[in-house]
Every structure is written in structure tokens, then in C-alpha cells.
Amino acid sequence: MLLCVIAIGASAKGFGLPAKTSNTKVILNGGQRVTFARPDGYFAFHNVPAGTHLIEVSSVGYFFSPVRVDISARNPGYIQAALTETRRVLNELVLEPLKEEQYYEIREPFSIMSLLKSPMGLMVGFMVIMVFVMPKMMENIDPEEMRQAQEQMRNSPVSFSGLLARAQS
């Protein structure tokens, strides 16, 4: 026979747990028995046989470590509890939430660098640079050379197959 009384709300003040614990469900052995915490944070399981049992706490917004409870068959009333994750033995059966659960991803604040690093930002940046840099590059070319290059391009027909043949040779 086991009467577990575990305080949930009293020890979790640092996490800002609400005063109401009506949404806190306590599960024994994966659903074999289920109870809800009272408004003061306590709960109880009655007539639990001797052996090893697992107590899990389910509370909206908080994550609790499961507790392994060993009930002695030789010494009636002797109960030993330990956290399953850290294997720390609990002298008092008081559970504290390990962390607050984050259900939503926190949005990053606006940043000019994230805008510039995006593919669209990179394309716009490249085009702006080309608009301002290309005219400066074209100023350095001799006008006579430019005219000759344009005439040569007009006179020789350019085809895709011709470009491929030149690239391979």
C-alpha cells in the first residue's frame, strides 16, 4: 500500500507556475493509474503494491523529470524515490520542473545582414554593383576598339553550336 504525496506547485515558484494546478496530470506506470494535482499542488495514489513504479507529471508549459519509486515489501511503509534522469535520490518527494517548454520557435529580430544574406538580397546587390561598376569599366575601353569589336560581332554569325565547337577546341 502506497500513499504518495508530492508537492508540485510549492517548489516551482522560480518558474512562475500558476497557482492553479488543475491542468497538472500525474501518471503512474505509464497510465496504469492517473490522478490530477489538487489546487495546493498535492496528489495521492492509494493501494499501490510493493515494487518499482514510475511517476510522470504532465503539466502544460513545463517539463518534469520522471521519478522512480521503490516500495519495499519487507519493510512496510519504506519508500525510496529517485529522479530517472539524474538518478538523484529524493529525501522529500518534491518535484520541480526541469525547464519551461517552448511550444513555438522564437522569431529572430529584424536584421539588415539577414536581408543582405538572403538569395534575393544577393541578387539585388549584384545588380546594383553592376549598374554602377560596369559604366566605369566601359569608360576605360578605347572607343576605336569598341567599334571594331561591334563590327566583328555583326559580321560573324554566332550560333550555339559554333560556341560549343570553339569551347571544345
**50 & 85 share domain:** yes
SS3 82: strand
SS3 120: helix
SS3 91: coil
pLDDT at 78: 81
- Whose cell is 500500500? That residue is 1
Query: How far, CA to CA in Å, does 160 sit from each of 23, 140, 155?
Result: 71, 30, 16
pLDDT at 164: 63
Q: What are the phi and psi torsion angles at 68 (to 5°)?
A: -95, 125
> How do the pLDDT tens digits run along the chain, 169 residues long?
444 444 444 344 444 444 455 678 888 888 888 888 887 778 888 888 888 888 888 888 888 888 888 888 888 778 888 888 777 887 777 777 777 877 788 888 888 888 888 999 999 999 999 999 888 887 777 888 888 888 887 887 766 666 666 666 5
> In the listed set 100, 130, 152, which residue is the last one of a domain according to the structure?
100
**37 & 64 share domain:** yes
**70 & 146 share domain:** no
Range 98-107 burial, b when 16+ CB lie within 10 A, else e? eeeeeeeeee
Tell me the pTM: 0.51
Which residues span the domain enclosing 128? Answer: 112-168
pLDDT at 167: 60
